[in-house]
Amino acid sequence: MADQHPDTTAITAGRDESGSLAPVLWPSTTWQSTGLDESNAAAVAVHETGNYARYANPTVREFENAVAALESAEDALATSSGMGAIATAIFALCSTGDHIVAQKQLYGGTLALLNGPCKRLGIDVSFVDGSTPGTFASAVRPGKTMLVIAETPSNPQLALTNLDEIGAIKGPYTMVDSTLATPLGQSPLRHGVSLVMHSATKGIAGHNDAMLGVLAGEKDLIDAIWSYSVLHGATASATDALNGLRGIRTLGVRFARQCDTALKVARELESNPGVRRVNYPGLESHPQHALAKSQMRGFGTVLSFEIMGGVDKARALMNKLAIVRPAVSLGGPETLICHPATSTHVSMSPEDQQSAGINDGLLRLSIGLEDTSDVIADLQHALQ
């Protein structure tokens, strides 16, 4: 049904013709043809299965179809990681001499890619404050800018970018990293954005057992990126795609439960005297709460908070936790905590960290599926 709820789409999408209710694993890397003519047809086909798994695999294709359906996209392309998706999109669309506009508030790996390989290859990058209206459009250089990159909510500051503003930019392609929102939290393509990207390792797969990235958008654009991706080689594995499909089936209930817990935890932290600031779009105190309500169906499963005492206090807190686990991923069934300045964003200089709002007292929480009261009690005990 065209107007069905995304929770229903998560159950109905990405199924083959076999009638199997469980995802079907195709582990093969190579398929036999009937002869020269069929081999030639497969060699020149675009994003088709039945030839070689670097080009397409049936299990991976079903995962791509499921994400495309969830994002209201014509097609999708899976990769071996979120960074694989970002790198594939950038190098498929940009060449030496081109220009990229990106926000300062980005995942550390994305910033490292833009500041390292991209600049080394002669791709110029301008960084803007993604939460300030008008900054993306004003930084675009007509005829030069090939790609605009936004991440909303951002990792780990939970700052938002206005999706309508990104979608209204004319000329360059626009790409939104929507990992923290998941396809159930928001729909960037419905705002006019060219590409939506996810580290599907996180909330989409949701069980810490799949390494996946995915891009979704118009078929012609996905086909063009696919043509580069087979050379780039960041190919998604069939096993990870199967686990990603399994995760999509429970995404609706997981996302709803985790969002509910995240808001309750954020409110408890906000009232704790040892916490200086809490970053979560669902809080009324979030400076972009109104924007979050206008463009998000759910406020997400990740929050961050700043404690007084810097890195020493952060270390002591993390060492005292019993249920919340120190780890750098997000979106899984376990509640995880990390210290971005020394982990996910450690590749950034201290100056760049400060510019991006990452200080020694900032901690990121990925909310899991434990009982909410137990998570809150564990954090309160560690904060004493």
Contacts of 360 (CB under 8 A, 6+ apart): 310, 311, 314, 341
Has 173 been annotated as catalytic?
Answer: no
Q: Tokens 């400076």 appear where?
A: 287
* CA pair distance 89, 114, nearest whole angstrom: 12
- Is residue 318 within 8 Å of 339, Cβ to Cβ? yes
- As a whole number of angstroms, the distance between CA 269 and CA 266 comes to 5
Catalytically annotated residue among 61, 75, 104, 107: 107
Q: Which of 15, 54, 320, 325 is catalytic?
A: 54
257 is catalytic: no
Tell me the angle at which helices 82-93 and 219-232 cross, rounded to the nearest 10 degrees. Answer: 100
According to DSSP H, which parts of the chain are helical? 6-12, 36-44, 58-70, 82-93, 108-113, 119-120, 135-139, 163-167, 182-185, 219-232, 238-249, 251-270, 289-295, 310-320, 350-355, 372-383
CA 372/CA 119 separation, integer angstroms: 44
| Residue of 177, 240, 360, 378 marked catalytic | 177
CB 196 within 8 A of CB 212: no
Question: Would you call 177 a catalytic residue per the annotation?
Answer: yes
Q: Which residues are catalytic?
A: 54, 107, 177, 202
